[in-house]
A and B are shown apart, each in its own frame.
Chain A
Amino acid sequence: SQTIHQWPATLVQPVGSPLSLECTVEGTSNPNLYWYRQAAGRGLQLLFYSVGIGQISSEVPQNLSASRPQDRQFILSSKKLLLSDSGFYLCAWSGGAGTEAFFGQGTRLTVV
């Protein structure tokens, strides 16, 4: 069966520090991969998605970047965090067209 792992679960980082969140998927190949963010009291905002190794599409301009160095690995990064980067970050994967997305357990990021 397929599983998705996302870590860390919680993270407190100072403003201006770098960020690296990692997500890995097991039990499937060539998944579509996604990074979403939930700000407090708001819905899910799609940040990035990837349809293959090295292929990254950005949905919104921001202080973050994403990379997919391996088929089932998706990384969210920042060189210098801002207070506004605080939120709940969710990684997800899906298969072909019309299939549902499966979500990781999320990372609560607090920038102080």
Chain B
Amino acid sequence: AQSVTQLGSHVSVSEGALVLLRCNYSSSVPPYLFWYVQYPNQGLQLLLKYTSAATLVKGINGFEAEFKKSETSFHLTKPSAHMSDAAEYFCAVTSPGAAGNKLTFGGGTRVLVKP
């Protein structure tokens, strides 16, 4: 079975400060990992994905994430927060054998950016 834990349901950062969102996963086989962003009353948009290539993955809007197998983590970072980064972020996992390629999502982290 797969699971995802996102530490911190809410994160507050100042504009220009580092954004760090934590994600830990559990999977019995090598995982595929994803980060999504959701703006109010909208669907989810893919930020980046890890599919067993480079462990440091760069995504859209200046975000990146690093896959650390030893720590079962896939934390999302952005060096300098922008007001437009205020949104909810979801980490998700699937695996090669997952029926229907189902994604399992974490509980989400809502980011507030202070001016």
Residues of A near any B CB (own CB < 8 A): 6, 32, 34, 42-44, 46, 49-51, 57, 88, 90, 92, 94-106, 108
A90 touches B44 (CB 8 A): yes
Could you pull out 27 A-B pairs where Cβ atoms are within 8 angstroms? A6-B43, A32-B101, A34-B100, A34-B102, A43-B106, A49-B99, A88-B41, A94-B103, A95-B101, A96-B101, A97-B94, A97-B97, A97-B98, A98-B32, A98-B51, A98-B94, A98-B95, A98-B96, A99-B101, A101-B34, A101-B92, A101-B103, A103-B36, A103-B44, A103-B45, A104-B43, A106-B41
Residues of B within 8 A of A108 (CB): 41
Tell me if A's interface is mostly helix, strand, loop or mixed: strand
Residue of B nearest to A105 (CB): B43
For chain B, residues 52 to 108, give those with C-beta under 8 angstroms from any C-beta of chain A.
90, 92, 94-108
